[in-house]
Amino acid sequence: MLDTRIAEIGTFVIYLIDLALLLLLVGLKTVHRRRVGNHDRRRQEFLGLLSRHVSYDDCIDPITPRMAEDPAFLDALIDVREVLSGHELSNLEDIVAQHGVSAGLTRRLASRFPLGRRLRAAVALAEIGDKSAAPAMILHLSDHEPDIRIECARGLARLKWTPAIDDIVARFAIEETPVRARFADSLVGFGTSATWPLLAYVRVNHRSEDAGPALALRTVGRIRELDAAGSIHDVLAEAPSLEVTIAAVEALGGIASPDSAPRLHGLLADDRWQVRAKSATALGQISESSSILLLSEALRDANFWVRRNSATALARIPDGRTALYAALVGDDPYAADAAAEALADVGELVAARRRVEAGRSVEEPLLAHMESEGPT
Amino acid sequence: MPKILVADDSETIRTLLRTALSRAGYEVETAADGPTAHSMGRDGGFDLIILDQLMPGLLGLDVIEQLRVDGVEAPVLMLTGVDDGTTAAESLDRGAVDYIRKPFEMNELLARIKSRL
């Protein structure tokens, strides 16, 4: 009897706790919904305010320090900034400077807690921070939170704050891959100013590590400063690891300097198929007719990817397709396959078929290939 | 006073353009999605229509096409993304008179509008 009573009381207590938790959840959701609604309403008001400041040079609608600290104001500022360019953008930058927006965000970034608030401040600084925030962003490149480090690098790139480049590059050696990749994206944003620090990092470190120097080289390839090609040749001459060699070849392809063609011609004979394949691709990007003969020979390479990439490269080079037509009707079936795929990729086979159907002339090798393939 | 329709699902762009165009002396109405843009464009007697490409319900290119089928001759200016050359070209094919890439300079946009009105 007593046991039953205790069980009943226990069950009732559990029901009460459940009810209390449910009410708490409903209450929290209501508070959250109201907070979001208030945020959206304030954001709309701030959008109107900022629109007037952007559109009217003589706009005197006040922006108070309290507004400048409001997350809804920051969201509106970021949204407007993303849409505009030119003269109106400088109006926004004046607002940021005059109302101490960066200072407020920097204070929040420097606080210890909570992470969400700090991260929002870092994102806002990345989007709208002015140069007064640059020292703080450099400091927080070594923040314990990776997302904050990423946002700080992004903000420094947007400001093109070149003194930060060395600090960002220095972190290549210690960051994990996802963060390092985002740092590389930021360095591309700096443009050619980042090229030489990146190459210096490669020269110093490629003997002791692979991933960082490889990413640095690929980043140099994305930046595309022509003068960097010579330094990359020097790196290749030091016989780096496979990963670094591949990255160097990719960078040369990205930069596409004709001066790199002879170097890449030599790499078409490398023992490693990956290097041969990547070199073929890079030669296609450089697109020099001096590469046609060697790429034609590479159509007969033992490795599928070397053949494939060589064919693709030939399709890109002016007069390179003549070599592909020859391979189509040559004695090497693997070369013929590679040539056919490359020609198909550029729509040449479809175009040829249509010309045949229209009664127009077509290159003999293409005609022979279509006849061997049969009707489609 | 010339009347302009601004159709964009971005509240930021609608607010910005409403303010800037009003300042420039135009009467402005806005639409936030494709079907509304189409019905307002068809019935509203606008002197110029500014259309975003990516809108819910009906894409900007399709709105242009339907407006032309409905006999609406108002000039249409397309807003396109910075890397969206295909949309820019296709909008001209479908009847737009001009396009402007985002992010845009307000002065440039106003100049293009003025040249059409």
Could you give the CA distance from residue A190 to residue A161 in angstroms, rounded to a whole number? 8
Residue in A83, A132, A144 with CA at minimum distance from that of residue A105: A132
**Neighbour count for residue B103 (Cβ, 10 Å):** 16
Could you give the CA distance from residue A97 to residue A25 in angstroms, rounded to a whole number? 41
pLDDT of residue A178: 93
The C-alpha torsion from A105 through A107 and A109 to A112, rounded to 10°, is -150
Assess whether pLDDT exceeds 60 at residue A304. Answer: yes
Lowest mean pLDDT across A82-91, A237-246, B3-12, B60-69: A82-91
Q: Where are the beta strands (DSSP E) in chain B?
A: 3-7, 27-31, 48-52, 76-80, 98-101
Determine the distance in angstroms separating the CA of B69 from the nearest CA of chain A, rounded to an integer.
Answer: 31
A83 close to B10: Cβ distance less than 8 angstroms: yes
Q: Residues B28-32: contacts with CB within 8 Å, 24+ apart? A: B28/B3, B28/B4, B29/B3, B29/B4, B29/B5, B30/B5, B30/B6, B31/B5, B31/B6, B31/B7, B32/B7, B32/B8
Residues of A in contact with B10 (CB under 8 A): 79, 83
pLDDT of residue A297: 96
Residues of A in contact with B108 (CB under 8 A): 86
- Rounded to an integer, the average pLDDT of A19-43 is 91
Chain B, nearest residue to A82 by Cα = B103
Could you give the CA distance from residue A291 to residue A305 in angstroms, rounded to a whole number? 17
- Token pair, residue A344, equals 């198909």
Check CB contact of A47 with chain B, cutoff 8 Å: yes
Lowest mean pLDDT across A36-45, A53-62, A332-341, B102-111: A53-62
- Cα dihedral across residues B61, B105, A133, A180: positive or negative: positive
Structure confidence by residue, pLDDT tens digits, A135-171: 999 999 999 999 999 999 999 999 999 999 999 999 9
- Rounded to an integer, the average pLDDT of A123-137 is 92
Could you give the CA distance from residue A276 to residue A346 in angstroms, rounded to a whole number? 22
Contacts of B80 (CB under 8 A, 6+ apart): B53, B87, B88, B91, B99, B100, B101, B102
Assess whether pLDDT exceeds 60 at residue A376. Answer: no
Check CB contact of A121 with chain B, cutoff 8 Å: no
Residues of A in contact with B20 (CB under 8 A): 51, 54-55
Instruction: Please provide residue A114's backbone torsions phi and psi, each rounded to the nearest 5 degrees.
Output: -80, 165
Structure confidence by residue, pLDDT tens digits, B12-54: 999 999 999 999 999 999 999 999 999 999 998 999 999 998 8
Residues facing residue B29 across a β-bridge: B5
pLDDT of residue A59: 81
- Rounded to an integer, the average pLDDT of A188-210 is 94
A320 residue type, one letter: G
Could you give the CA distance from residue A241 to residue A227 in angstroms, rounded to a whole number? 23
Residue in A190, A249, A197 with CA at minimum distance from that of residue A223: A190
Could you give the CA distance from residue B63 to residue A232 in angstroms, rounded to a whole number? 51
Computed over its alpha carbons, how large is the radius of gyration of chain B?
12
Size of interface A-B (CB pairs under 8 A): 56
Report residue A273's pLDDT band, with 50, 70 and 90 as the boundaries: very high
Assess whether pLDDT exceeds 70 at residue B84. Answer: no
> What value does the mean pLDDT of chain A take?
91
**pTM of this prediction exceeds 0.95:** no
